Amino acid sequence: MSCTTILVGKNASYDGSTIIARDDDSGSGRYDPKRFVAVAPDDQPRHYRSVLSHVEIELPDNPCRYTIAPNVLNNRGILAEAGANEHNVAMSATETIAVNERVLGADPLVALQPADEANGKPETPGGIGEEDIITLVLPYVNTAREGVKRLAELLETYGTYESNGIIISDVDEIWYVETIGGHHWIARRVPDDKCAIIPNQLGIDYFDFDDAFSDAREFMCSADLQEFIETHHLGRAAGTQGGMNGGHCNPRIVFGTATAKDHIYNTPRAWYMYRYLDPADAENLTPESDDIPWCLEPENAVTVEDVDFLLGSHFEGTPYDPYGTQGTEESRHRYRPIGINRTGHMVAMQIRPYAPVESRSIMWISYGSGAFTTSAPFYANVDDTPAYLRDTTPEVSTDCLYWTNRLIATLADAHFYETSNAVEGFSEDVRSFGHCLVERTDDALATAGATDAPSVTARLAAANDEMADYLRKRNTKLLGDVLYTSSNLMHNSFAMSDRWN
């Protein structure tokens, strides 16, 4: 899926939380409505069949409860996209990436092969992909490392039909997994004091095989990955610039791409995030640099507001801003912004070390184009989710958050500066209310001393309902404000009215 990812290590965040965040952008030519649901163990399938690849997998009989943000329509599968389970493990999947032709030739993707009735050949299922991964992994793991290992087993057993980046986190660690061809994979732990930035491009730029095959403190990979590289001469492709070097390699050069399309679609997004988070070190980088580091040490501790801004950003303050006045008409539409019209949702999952385990995970959720909305906090450890986010309809309706935000963005886009104050006021109000609600709920739980899970989950669900009710009222007001402003700026407007008005 077209998207942008930010991963914030616990010592790089403002409160010691691990934060993983990703936009989920639909493919060009369609818009995928989103919803927010809780999945009970009894609702988890025991026999799984992929919609797109038709692969069939028997699942364990001990799933846990988890909360996800999937598509409304099931035409391309569940596509859980982002979720957190009751053990405070979070996943975001997947970041669509690209590997080079040499890799795909050595380990082809596992695509669905339709039946050939004329020659008597039955259908051959494909591997797993974006629609499957969270459903197959998240309900069965207690830590992020367990998540990497379970995902690895699935990749090696069934393969994948696409190249993807998968994020798995817990309160202590964030792991980023990249698939390499049909069956191979690498994983790197995000350093605690750093942020990782990924824009639809194979991103890991350093890998330590010595660690991966010993303690696996920071790196993990397929057991035969070194032999795979050597057998298929993948390291030679980089010459002296970063192929195999003893026990180390640069996966981006060995496995990845650096094309003209990357310089329009991918690297500019990494450049803007790097520039925002660590401006001093970004001085020598450009939007088309191929050597933008995968991770960086931010100049300041990263907040949820930073993540929210970046994942809805459009090159503000540069000649590349489509809403800006700098540069030229050409430069303002040269690169693909981070926040685009096709964004379905943004989910930032915050796992807080200072909170009790029952209320530790928060999913900051926004629907629609990030430039015209903001994220709001919802506790993940619940049995049900608010109807305003859960019951998104396939048809346009202001009874749900998704469509309301889509309508606001479409109206405000045409009159960006005239409506910007209303949008900014909305964002400030929602985030302020959200932070206040979380603190108030945390304090109430601590004061009550409630320890039994049903009582805690009910309290968290009540807080989520309160957040949703506020969002409904505030979104309705914003829609009215933007509608009024945009109506006054219609091309057929006329200031004079009759004498009775």
366-399 pLDDT, tens digit per residue, is: 999 999 999 999 999 999 999 999 999 999 999 9
Choice among 3, 221, 295, 400 that is catalytic: 3
Name the token pair of 492.
Answer: 């057929």
Predicted pLDDT at 165: 97
Predicted pLDDT at 120: 86
Q: Is residue 247 within 8 Å of 235, Cβ to Cβ?
A: no
Give percent of the chain above pLDDT 90: 90
CA distances (Å), origin 6, targets 17, 95, 240, 273, 469: 14, 11, 30, 9, 29
Predicted pLDDT at 89: 98
Predicted pLDDT at 498: 73
**Tokens 């963005």 -> residue:** 409
Band (pLDDT 50/70/90 cuts) for residue 495 is: confident
Q: Is residue 21 within 8 Å of 348, Cβ to Cβ?
A: yes
Instruction: Output the pTM of the full model.
Output: 0.96
Peptide bond into 94 cis (omega under 30): yes
Band (pLDDT 50/70/90 cuts) for residue 27 is: confident
SS (H, E, C) 103-118: HHHHCCCCCCECCEHH
Q: Residue 153: enclosing H or E segment and its boundaries?
A: helix 144-158
> In 3D, which of 467, 403, 434, 198 has the Cα closest to residue 310?
198
Q: Is the pLDDT of residue 428 over 80?
A: yes
Q: Is the pLDDT of residue 37 over 90?
A: yes
Residue 464: exposure state from Cβ atoms within 10 A (0-12, 13-18, ≥19) = buried
Residue 118: exposure state from Cβ atoms within 10 A (0-12, 13-18, ≥19) = exposed
Q: Is the pLDDT of residue 453 over 70?
A: no
pLDDT in tens, 454-469: 689 999 999 999 999 9
231-234 LR contacts (CB < 8 Å, sep 24+): 231/106, 232/102, 232/103, 232/105, 232/106, 233/102, 234/102, 234/103, 234/106
To the query of whether residue 221 is one of the catalytic residues in this protein, the response is no
Worst-scoring range by mean pLDDT, 114-118, 159-163, 363-367, 394-398? 114-118
Instruction: Provide the 3-class DSSP secondary structure of residue 413.
Output: helix
- Over residues 404-424, the mean pLDDT reads 97
Q: Is the pLDDT of residue 357 over 60?
A: yes
Predicted pLDDT at 242: 47
d(CA 147, CA 136): 10
Q: What are phi and psi of 160, to 5 degrees?
A: -135, 150
d(CA 445, CA 433): 18
Predicted pLDDT at 241: 46
Q: Is residue 397 within 8 Å of 377, Cβ to Cβ?
A: no
Predicted pLDDT at 500: 62
Mean pLDDT of the chain, nearest integer: 94
Predicted pLDDT at 244: 62
Q: Which amino acid is at 17?
A: S
